[in-house]
Amino acid sequence: MQATIIAIGDELLIGKVVNINAAYIARKLNLIGIRVREATVVGDNRQEILQALERAHEQSKVVILTGGLGPTSDDITKPALCEYFGSKLVFNPDVLEQIKVFLTKRRGILNELNQSQAWVPDNCALLTNAIGTAPGMFFEKEGRCYFALPGVPFEMEKMLDEQVIPILIEKFKLEHIYHRTILTTGVAESVLAETIANWEKSLPQEVKLAYLPSPGIVKIRLSVYHHPQGQEMIAQAEQQLHAIIPEYIFGYDDDTLESVVGRLLLERGATVSTAESCTGGNIALSIVSVAGASAYFKGGLIAYSNEVKIQELGVDPKILETHGAVSRQTAEAMALGCLKKFKTQFALAVTGIAGPDGGTPEKPVGTVWIAVATESKVISNDFLFGDNRMRNIQRSTIAALNLLRKAILDC
């Protein structure tokens, strides 16, 4: 079954706002086996909305509209819907009551604009909006379901999850849908694809495969739709894949490298600290982006200058002279200094040339050394990324967290 998503709003077409709603809706529809045929954005324009509705009608059984329901003058979704579904606007006292309750809670003022939200089409079912003033609408036409939802993401998300999805599951009897996402790092998409090409060919045709690459990480998603044995098929495929590329897989589904590292540390009751040069704090930031990180992250040092590397991490000035700030020796000395300073079980150190300047023929921009120290040993590795500064910082962070993950597993 197919769906079309129509986002309405000039603010999306001038690039002021990113349409994050479409991805959220798509994800939720996919999980119940509804494929999104198209996700489009049109302006606050009657003609363009009507054209989009007509096209959606031809394509899909499910149409989700977002945005344009607000009370201000540029919101014309409601009149366009009335025209398309042959509705009249009628005053609904229940909606007015909900708006009043909402406004009282938020100390808002009931003005003419808010009151206009209580005028709704006479041939739709209304969806409650507990956290905003615009109710959602559910129309049916020629076997198709149309939902008009607010554009504010958290209002839309709540309405979709609690009202739209249950309606769709019931209307279309949706069952037996399975997904699994396998997360890999340390391998380029093209190399990965070649490595697992035979496995891919051997998959039952019901198992759909998608590559989802992002900088430093490639996700492999397996899906089976409307098949009672879906779960077993996916489990088997996943097991086979794990046997081929165990070294690249770091997690599943909603895991992140930082959440996996956090879980491993928590399980062991271990702590970590960081010493960063070129990444300038990004590794620490990734670690603390996980709620509850204070249980295993004690602190970090950003050793941007050589002076700080020497004085704060005890790096021998001779190492810096002989091997340079970007070297195995410096990275390892930083990690050992960090371990001592913060008294943690693991210490992660990174030194590199983020660019755009500072490269040499032997050590071009993008050269990065990463080291992990524990009381009993130090491991280190070098990488060569590209010439984009922020990208190098991101990729160094992923590589560093992955080296830390391996070090924890090897302990």
Query: Could you say which residues in the range 37-66 bind a copy of itself, by CB under 8 A?
Result: 37-43, 48, 52
**Orientation of helix 77-85 relative to helix 46-59, angle to 10°:** 50
378 interacts with a copy of itself by CB under 8 A: no
- Residues 70-129 within binding reach of a copy of itself (CB under 8 A): 70-74, 105-109, 111-114
Contact 92, 129 (CB under 8 A): no
Nearer to a copy of itself, 70 or 136 (CB): 70
Residue 324 CB contacts under 8 Å (≥ 6 apart), including other chains: 330, 363
Stretch that binds a copy of itself, among 139-147, 167-175, 372-380, 390-398 (CB under 8 A): 390-398
> With binding defined as CB under 8 A, does residue 361 bind a copy of itself?
no
> Which residue of 53, 257, 303, 338 would you call a contact of a copy of itself, by CB under 8 A?
303
**Is 291 a binder of a copy of itself (CB under 8 A)?**
yes
Q: Cα–Cα distance between 401 and 397 in angstroms, integer?
A: 6
| Closest CB to a copy of itself among residues 123, 285 | 285
Among 78, 180, 341, 363, binds a copy of itself (CB under 8 A): 341
- Residue 362 is a binding residue for a copy of itself (CB under 8 A): no
Query: Which of 86, 292, 317, 377 lies at the binding interface for a copy of itself (CB under 8 A)?
Result: 292
Which residue, 125 or 188, has its beta carbon nearer to a copy of itself? Answer: 188
Nearest distance in Å: CB 349, a copy of itself: 13
Contact between 283 and a copy of itself (CB under 8 A)?
Answer: yes
Report CA dihedral (316, 317, 318, 321) to the nearest 10 degrees.
Answer: 140
Mask for 221-260, x = binds a copy of itself (CB under 8 A): x---------------------------------------
Whether residue 357 contacts residue 283, with contact meaning beta carbons closer than 8 Å, is answered with: no
Q: What is the largest CA-CA distance in the chain?
A: 83
- 389 interacts with a copy of itself by CB under 8 A: yes
- Residue from 206, 255, 312, 316 touching a copy of itself (CB under 8 A): that is 312
Single-letter amino acid, residue 180: R
In terms of Cα–Cα distance, which of 274, 294, 302 is closest to 371? 274
Say whether residue 385 binds a copy of itself (CB under 8 A).
yes
What are the strands, taking DSSP E only, across 86-164?
Answer: 89-91, 119-121, 125-127, 136-141, 144-149
> How far is it, in rounded angstroms, from Cα 37 to Cα 60?
7
CB 347 within 8 A of CB 404: no
